[in-house]
Structure 1
């Protein structure tokens, strides 16, 4: 009987320990919009010192706190402290972008013999869905779950004709955090009419901390891509798949971003004011996930691997952070202070022959899965 009692006590202790280690999800409110609607927020936290706050405005990552190699915590995601600042400075910071992430030439595309026009918000092109994309709407929180993997699911129903796109599109965005320090973002979408979809996340990362003075150009990046899609002067792909070998776009071996980010000998760098291009990881969406990139900060020791089921990776080196606004640490965000890694279908895919398919039909489910495998280990070797 004593042995049975002892075993029972051990089982209770083990359950209590596992419950204590389980990731948690905590609701709060992140202020109110001008029309009085509250902006929900959910903070996911695990037992290893990692936490992320997701706000319903734009289904956005507002913060991601993690320790460095010495155990010191810092917020590595650019963001704002108040909803008013998000409204005043709509720079896609941490946001879900869509219906169509990246650029559409002239904001125009054809489906079923009909031409559709979306708003032009990037000079002569449409960018990230239009003037009122998914980053500028309030999503509904439909599910919040505690561990062992904590998660929040948000939903937005985009009506037929929204920003010129056909079909009523129902989108779910799920953020989850587990005890292995995996932050997973999953987008799912269905439609009642043939449409185009390309949804991604536009988180800005500085692994030294969003208020760090050293920026992100010293981050060491690896991208396992043999080719990339060069662009014209308006940043629309030319339709080529150009080899990275021998160019500033070759990140097949680890290399600091700042090594050649200002190399004006390559016209592509001039067009993008740095890196703002799509690397070809594959030619189609896959069932599982594949490595998109590794990013490491030699200063803090923080790093992540990014895995996704998408064929393309848009790598943007923060070229248009223009010093006109500041973040949570009350430090001005300047050019090169952070980077963005967006797994997605190729830019302007609907208008480019041979690019991955961007159509979504009724009865199909669009799915983009992104997994950030976070680490606080030793710095990457160069």
Structure 2
């Protein structure tokens, strides 16, 4: 432990002596560095004072040009957006709801026809606007024809329904008249049978009165005959009663059979009329459903065609806009390349036909 402590004290003394020597040797160098840094800082401040006004002017000019460029781009964007709004407004003339009347479609055609397509309103898209206007007019014309056809078909179906209703009313009136006629005939038959029954009863009463008168006159003379007469009268009364009952039963059976026949014929006729009316109603309903389905299919097909055409025009317009946007840059680049080739003497080593073709392309592009 003593040896270790002694060795540690010796090493520590060497280390502290080394640190003191380093500080001593480095002090002049640190002072020189401080002086250099102070002089450089002063010179830098003077240079910055000269540079900053120039830099501020350059940045201000760059900001002004950037703002001017942004304002110009914004104005061009707003102008293009306004033109697009006008073109979309033309397309919207054909965006009519399903079931629009032919008169309303005609009004839309008249309004769109009155819309003027000019360079002042549409600029370089005037041709596209004119094409959109003509396509929209064609679409409206097809819609107008379809609406006229649909309205005519609806009017025809309404007329058919009214005719069917009149026919059904006439059939019901005829059936009612037949029922009234049958009821009248039935009542007349009942009245006739009642009169016949009353006449028969009167005849029987008269016969009985006559028989009783003869019986009273002959009673004194023929007691035996009176007994026989009473028996015969009783037998005759029974025969007459049986005959009357048989006649009434026969007449009742005849009336019931006739009524059953009349009711059966009326029921058959009503069933036939109802079946014919139901068949006619079903036929008309089927025709109407087929017509409506056909109209809907045509309308959906027209909408699909219009959407496909609008998408095609949008893509074509995008391609045209891209070409118009890239065209000037390509021409400028080609012209600069030809100029560089001419300045460097490279054009002498390029095929003459290629060079002439390049200059011709630049002239045509610039003219366009």
Question: Structure 2-normalised TM-score?
Answer: 0.20
Larger Rg computed on CA atoms = 2
The answer to which structure, 1 or 2, has the higher relative contact order (CA under 8 A, 6+ apart) is 1
Q: Comparing both structures, which one devotes a greater share of its residues to helix?
A: 2
Greater strand proportion: 1
The TM-score, its normalising length taken from structure 1, stands at: 0.20
